[in-house]
Structures are given as C-alpha cells and as structure tokens.
Structure 1
C-alpha cells in the first residue's frame, strides 16, 4: 500500500523540477541585499505612476533603521506595520530587520480593540501606520497603559506617487501628524546614513503574523527568516520567476500570502511588485493594463471579481504567464468560467499562516484533477522538501484515499506561536503542524481539501461537508458566490443552508437552486434553504466568512 512518507507525488512534478531544493539564503535580509548588489537600478515597486528601484528601497530602509535606532529601538524589538498595500509596508519590514528587530503585520481593517490586543501581545515598541489610521484608531490606542509603543512613524497613501486617484484617495492630502514622525521626513533627514551592521540568524523571527482567532484569541505565528526565505524560493522556483517578470500584489501584504507570495518573491527574484493601495477591482484592472504583470496569487473571490468586470477582455490578461489562487477552496466550475473569460487556468495553491503560505501547489502547466466522488478540485502536491500526512481521529496515519486531518512538516513550518507554549504544543507537536483542515490523498499523490473540521455539518447523524455543496451550487450559471453552513433543526439537529450572491443581471429562485442541488446530491446533503445576499461577508484576503453567516442563521 502507498504510504505518505514514500511521497508518491514526486512523479507528478513538472519536467525539470526537483523534489527538493537547497535554500539559497538563510534570511530575508540576506536575499534582499543580494538583489540590491545584483541590480540596484532594477525596479522593485511600481505604485500608480511612481516607482522605487532596489537601490531606493535600500536607502529608504537604511534611513528608517537609523531613525528607529535613534528612537531607542534595540535588537530584538518589534515594529508594528499598520498600513495598506503601499511601498511603506515593504520599507517597514526592511527597516525593522536592518535595525536588528522584527515586524508585526497588522490588518489595516483592525479597530481599537483589535489593535490594542495585537500591540500588547506582541510587545511592539514602534509603530508605522497610515496617517488616517493614526488619527482614527492608533492615537487613542497608544495613549493607553496596555501597549509599549514609544515611537510612531506615519505615511500617506500618496507617498511615492503623484497621481491622486479619486476612486481611492478622494479628500486625501499629504500632511504631517502631530506627535508622529513622517516617513518622508525620515527619508530626507537620514538620507545617506547607514545603520549599524546586523546579521540576523535564520531562526530569528522576521515577522509576527496573527491568526484570525476563529477558535480563540489571535495567536502570533513566529515566521522566521529561514521560513520566509525558503518559501520565497519555493514560489520563485516552482513558478519559474525571474527579473523579467512582474508581480501583481492583490493579496494584502499583512497576510502571509502577500508577505511571501508578493514581497518575498520580489525581493528574491529582483522583479517589480505592482501595488495599488487596496483591492478595488477597477483600480487593480487599470494597474494590470498599465504595468502588464506576469504573475499573481490571490483568493478566488479576487479573480471572480476581476474577471466579472464590465469591459474586461482576454487581452487585459494577456501579459500573465500564470495565476495561482489560495486561501479558500475553488470549485471546478469557477476555474472553467475564469479560463473561458481570460484564457488563463487558475493553478491551486494551499497553505496556512503557520506554513508561510504554500505547503501544496499544482505544478505549473498541469491541471489539477477533480475527485470523482466529492467533486473537489485538488489543492496540488506538497512543495519542495515538504512531507504531508493524513491522520485519523486517533492520530494514526489513515490509509490512502481516506479522510483525516492534514498534518505538515517542512522548512516552511513555523516553530510556534509568540509567547504561547501551550498553543504551540497543541498545534505543532514535535514541529509537525496539525492544520485543522480535513482532506485525503489519492493513489497518485494528489491532495484534496474537504473542509475545516469545525465546519462539518451533522444532519441527522450524516456528515455533510459544506465545500461539496458549494461546489455543486457554483455549477449553476446564475451563481456568483456561495457559502454553505449548518443551521439548527429540531428534527435533524442541523440542516444545510446556502447563502448565495448572484451574477449581475441573473435571476433564479430558491426552489430552483434547491432542485438543482437535489438532482446531483444525496438526500441528506442538498440545502433545505437558500438565502440571497448582495455580497457575502469576507475577510480582507477575500475568504468568505462562514462563521458570520452561521451566527446570522442560528
């Protein structure tokens, strides 16, 4: 019988791809310095009509590191970065590393309660944030007794560009904020100065990225320099990226996909990263038309939104050599629809915050198989140097083809959670990540994600995985997005409910959709009710929030 440790997926790698790679760099700072040395005048970031070369990034991050040190930032300290997809985010990361510390990536949608928790838990002593976020949220937070922030640097979304896009920046002006140090002021005042030389180790924390906290308070995943450098190389080598490519940054940079799948690749491969502040479909499409990126990775909801824009054509997508999608399951029908509209096949990629983005990916140029029994699209095969097993409820290795929890080990898996040894031991026993995701591996070595453990619906004793129902409903031509949850049922315990948003101009009734699913599924699986919404609730990364829908239907 095939076993996981035999790694049968090796035969599925594309021609020329090695099963294992030797890491080229131990730290993110080392790989960035190599790119600066190799091509200092190459463009590192394109932001509306502005651009920064690698030499510019080096000089700006030097200046920030010097300013941090003069404000008392010491080796091992943490700089919280609280901004959108702006060049300042990348400067903040590099500046923190050059000052001998680490960064804390914070969701710009977080409000006072959430920001207070993250700053207090991480112990950040400095903060870099947008002027508007300082005025509306951070000013009051850092005045409290719970946080240790001593220094605040602020930036504007208009920095590094001159075109004030009124779709995003109406009413926004550059201007200093009292009590803070403006980033533009730092670049001017400390121009030409270099920080004291530092050489972080591979096992030093590079970035704390916080989990969503769906099963308790958010936990800070300790993404080390070695973790991030390895998976930056994984992306580069798996996709064959180089200095002639251009990366479209559609994933939020505070999220692990943006950190590694955008910033990490760009710093390593020496190619430009195209940023557009935040995801607004028409603005991002204009960036695609202007800057002609060749690669991106983002959530499937991003691709659904972009491909559905009025006026968008296949020619708009013609610069792309490949697109990958992760962060949420993809229905096979959606990949087919996207390819019809754009000419591009969406390659699946799978990973978690704790795996620094990819642990699995579909090999470039290969189409992922669809499981005939569940209709699920494969999330790919384990990436370089990675071993993945499926464990049953007793913690034993499940036979190939049987469903169990996905557990992952490899160079990209974080060593633990910041100051949470019990949570680390629970989720990462022996360094192997218990993902909480349920799936299986077929005989050829393809992995299939069934669902999250906590999302399983128990309908009269039968297990129903929401993902399977969603995949069926995505096959209806009127459906744009769908999420399935279990809701209380006096007779069954739980019954299946679908929340659906429709494509523009499409019409379909609740009974029609129920009947559509009923024709294709066992009697206990099809939805008993459908509720139509204009938009489904999502995280900033585009993942649909089933928990919010579950709460509203309780």
Structure 2
C-alpha cells in the first residue's frame, strides 16, 4: 500500500471534513447569508474608527448589486476589483456574487500593461477601483479600448471612516472622474433595493485570481465558491475559530491568503475583519492595540516588521490566540526570535492560489519540527480531506525522506485556469495539482519545502516571473541582454536581481535601469539590484544560463 494511502499524519491530527460542508451550504454567499441571519448586528468590518455591521454590509452590497444589474451586469459576468484593503473590496465581492457573477482580484500595484492584460483576459464587464488608481492607471486602460469594461465605479480610501486618518491620508483628496460612478453615491441612491435573487452553484467561479505559470503569462485561477467555502471552513475548524474571534487583515485582500484567510473566515463566522487600507507597520500596530484581534495569517515579513517596531511589548500581542504564517519560507531562528519577543509561537501554513490557501498547516498547539539534514522548518501536515504525494520526475511516488515534486489533491484544489485548457491539463492532470514545489515527507507525515522546481522568485510571498522583468528591461534602449534571478534576502526571503549586458557604445547606470523598471511594474517585481556583465553565460544553443547567474 502507498505510504500516502496510509496517511501517517493521522497520528498528528484527526483529519476529517469540516463540520458545515453540505450541498446546500457550499457557496461563499451561503456562508455570508447564514451569518447575517444569525447575528445581523454583529460587526463585520472595522476600518480605522469606522465599522460596518453584517446587516449594513448586506445592505450596501445589495445596493451596489442593484446598481450594476441596472447597467447590464448579470450571471456569469466578471467584476474587477482594484483596491487596497478597504471595505469597498468586500462590498464589491458580495455584489458580484449576488448577481451570479465572479470577482476578478487585481493587485493595486499593477500598472497599465498588467491591468490591461487582466481586464482583457478575464473579460471583466465592470470595474470597482480607487479614485487614485483610476487617475493613474485605469483611465488610460479603459480609454484604450483594450478591454470589455462598460461600467467603472470609483471609491476613496476615506470611505468608511468617521474621521479621516491623518497617518495615511493627510494628502488624500476625493476626486470625481468623468465617466465614472461614485460608490458611496450609488449606495445612497440604491439603498433599500435588492437585485433579483440569484444563487450561485458551488462550481461557479467566485473569484479569478491571477498567477504566473511556466510561460510567464498570468493565468486566472478559477477559485470556485465550493473550493473557497471549503477552505474558509478549514481555517475555522483547524484553528478553532468562533464568532467571538476577530481577524486582523494583514495580507492583501486580492491575494488568496486575504481572500480566504481573512474575508472568507470573517464572512463565515460573522466576526470582525480589521483592515487598514495597506500594510504600514505603525498603523497596523495601532490597529492591534485599538481593536485587539485574536487571529491573523500573513507573510513572515509582516510579523518581523511589526515585532521590530520601537516600543512594541508582549502586552501589545496579548490579544492574539494564534498566528499563522505562509507565503514565504520561515527560518527556524525567526520563529524562536518572534516567540521570545511576543510570547507567541508562529504556526506554519502552506498552500497556493490553486489550493485556495492551505493544503498544509501545523496543528494548533503543536510545534513544527526542523529537519536535521536540511535545517528546514516543516510546513505542516495535510489539512482536511487532502492527499499529498511526493513524486519523482518520472511521476513515480517516492517514499518518506526522498525529495520530489509536491502533488496535491483535495476539495480545495481549483478545477482549472480561465480559458486555458492546455495550462490546466499541464498543471492539473486528472484534477491533481502539480505544484512545481520540491519537498519531502518524513516518516511521521510532516512535510518540508526544499526548493521550487521552476524559476519563480518568491519575494515576501509575492511571486515574480523572471521573464516578465526581463521583457521590461529589454524595452530600455541600452540593454542588449538581460537575465533575472532570485537572490537571498534577509527580510523578503528572496529579492529580484538582474544581470545585464549593454549594447556596444551604450551607457546606463544601475539606478537608471531600476527606475526604468519601477515605473513600469508592480513594486514587488522590479529588480533591487543590477549587475553589469560583458557577456551573459549561455548554453551552446544560445540560451542564457540563469542557474550559473544564481550561483554567483
């Protein structure tokens, strides 16, 4: 019998299906509506000094849905959401679902080229975005005619506050842009109206989240209602969360961790989601002190930043019952230092966009072991109803201790990529996810992540495809050749480095090329370091050897 069929991790945790999974309760909208019925006056969102109850969130999302429906948005349509961690993000999600549509989660750091691709590929019919992002990026994208967007609704980071917070918004001015609708005005105009009731099915796409693939072209992962609902309940049951808990939203809501580990849990439990526009350490620490959250999950760099702020004490962290971290590898020394500083042990968690956040997690109350050979900290054991195999290059299942590709199957795995059947067949043969990550399982069922099979760079949990950065560098008139690799970074885990050779007689400085990329790419993508070489190493066929550059 296969060692995986024996499921040795059952010794560590009693795996089984989360409590509330049932055919009539398998969509994100079902979870939210059940919470509204149960406790309509409970706080759903805390945003600086403002708050929304579940009933108010329901009413606001109804109003937006009614407004969109009047403008032709209906079942199967896509609503792109291009904001920071604001109440508008959650309102837009719910509005799309109430019309039987899907949301398209857009990184607010995306620039023209990136936004244009996502809107065109998803076929988004409507867009909700921050006023400042409309002015800086989206207006030109919409005007270019590259997309199918017909309706644009803008919002302000000031929406949802009683008193505008001067720490982040001292220079923020509300701005109405021609051709757009204002979210707050729409909600006021359509308040009390409800769209025709639509109930999505569990197999309907709830959110398209874009992730890079082997070609470097972003792919829309089809996160369905059922896969998101399953893992929202996985978080609840694995970590023992209840409606009395509160969730600190430190991960970006457009990211799968924020979508499921923040929004999904809060909608399911009917507990407060605490958000603060974007991650600014001092502002987030003030939110912790004021709102006293009990749970969060995020990148380890977030917790390093917060714990190293001047004046932070163990008392500041005392409201937390648990903290989980994923998205980037965690050195064992960091968990020990955080424990000493805060009194809290960070539990590891592992998953991908394609697994709707967790496929593995450290059981609550257990400490992850450290592999004596590699020094790696375990990412945990498979969560409910999830089977994970380690396979070799030939597809053969490997025994404990042997290193191979991590392959995952379970109720949280996506059915495929949006309009990309070939990519789906390659990464999800038979519905089993080939993660592209390399690792192993020990004799006790703990899993360890060793390396990535592909050249993807993981900068503080954000994934960067080298070819995309190289393509931008090649746009510079002085660049002859370019190759991009990930290099170790004490804070981010990895950071982006470019190796460049210049055209004969051309000149360019490191600062010039970095600024060139910064102006054209999301902040986490552009290279932080550039090294100039006369020639880049190549194979006999002329292919640049990233491996040699990485080894430098």
Do Structure 1 and Structure 2 share a fold, with TM-score over 0.5?
Answer: yes
SS at match of 2:440: strand
Equivalence for 2:39:
39
1:2–1:8 Cα contact (<8 Å) kept: no
Q: For residues 187 and 99 of structure 1, what CA distance do their matches in structure 2 show?
A: 16
The offset of 1:399, in angstroms, is 1.4
Q: How does 1:58-73 map to 2 (within 5 A)?
A: 58-73=58-73
Q: Aligned ranges for residues 523-542 of structure 1 at < 5 Å?
A: none
| Preserved CA contact (<8 Å) 2:18 2:230 | no
Runs of 5+ in structure 1 lacking a partner?
457-465, 471-484, 486-494, 503-536
Question: Cα distance, 1:451 vs. partner?
Answer: 1.1
Structure 2 equivalent of residue 380 of structure 1: 380
Match of 2:17 among 17, 20, 23: 20
**Corresponding position of 1:416:** 416
Q: How many residues align?
A: 481
Shift of residue 2, structure 1, vs aligned partner: 6.4
Q: How much does 1:188 deviate?
A: 0.6
Q: Separation in 1 of the partners of 2:285 and 2:373?
A: 37
Query: Cα distance, 1:146 vs. partner?
Result: 1.6
Q: CA deviation at 1:440?
A: 0.3
SS at match of 2:389: strand
The structure-2 alpha-carbon separation of the partners of 1:187 and 1:9, relative to structure 1 and needing over 3 Å to count, comes to same
Contact 2:15 2:385 in 1 (8 A): no
CA contact (8 A) 1:402 1:440 kept: yes
SS at match of 2:434: strand
Partners in 2 of 1:335 and 1:284 — Cα distance? 20
Offset of 1:173 from its aligned partner? 2.4
Structural mapping, 1:179-194, within 5 Å: 179-194=179-194
Structure 2 runs not aligned, ≥5 long: 460-465, 467-484, 493-516, 533-548
Written as runs of structure 1 = structure 2, the 5 A alignment for 1:95-114 is 95-114=95-114
* Alignment pair present for 1:131 and 2:131: yes
Structure 1 CA distance, aligned partners of 2:395 and 2:100? 40
**d(CA) in 2 for partners of 1:351 and 1:325?**
11
**Distance in 1, Cα, partners of 2:340 & 2:197:** 52
C-alpha displacement of 1:176: 2.7
Q: Please name the residue that 1:333 is paired with.
A: 333
Aligned to 2:344: 344
Rounded to whole Å, the distance in 2 between the matches of 1:359 and 1:500 is: 26
d(CA) in 2 for partners of 1:402 and 1:351?
20
Which whole-Å deviations, capped at 9, do the CAs of 1:65-110 have from their partners, x for residues lacking one?
A: 1001111112110000000000000000000011121100000000
Distance, in Å, in 1 between the alignment partners of 2:375 and 2:446 is: 14
**Distance in 1 of aligned mates of 2:15 and 2:454:** 36
Matches of 1:330 and 1:496 in 2, distance apart?
A: 17
Residue pairs, 1:280-291, within 5 angstroms: 280-291=280-291
CA shift in 2, pair 1:215/1:314, >3 Å: farther
2:234 aligned partner: 234
Q: Is the 2:214–2:454 contact (alpha carbons within 8 Å) kept by the matching residues of 1?
A: no
Aligned partner of 1:50 in structure 2 is 50
Give the secondary-structure state (helix, strand or coil) at the position aligned to 2:454.
Answer: helix
Deviations 1:331-357 (A, max 9, x none): 000000000100000000000000000
Q: 1:197 to 1:339 in 2, by over 3 A?
A: same
Aligned counterparts of 2:486 and 2:229: Cα–Cα separation in 1: 43
Distance change (3 Å), C-alpha of 1:264 and 1:405: same
Task: Please give the TM-score of this superposition, normalised by the length of structure 2.
Answer: 0.83
2:303 corresponds to which residue? 303
Residue of structure 1 equivalent to 2:357: 357
- Which residue is 2:508 aligned to? none
| Aligned 8 A contact 2:348 2:380 in 1 | yes
Residues 501, 86 of structure 1: CA spacing in aligned structure 2 closer, same or farther, 3 A cutoff? closer
Whole-Å separation in 2 of the counterparts to 1:394 and 1:411:
26
Give the conservation status (yes or no) of the 8 Å contact 1:299–1:543: no
**How far 1:499 moved relative to its partner?**
4.5
Q: Deviations over 1:417-471 (max 9, x none)?
A: 0000000000000000000000000010000000111359xxxxxxxxx99xx9x
Root-mean-square deviation (CA, aligned residues, Å) is 2.6
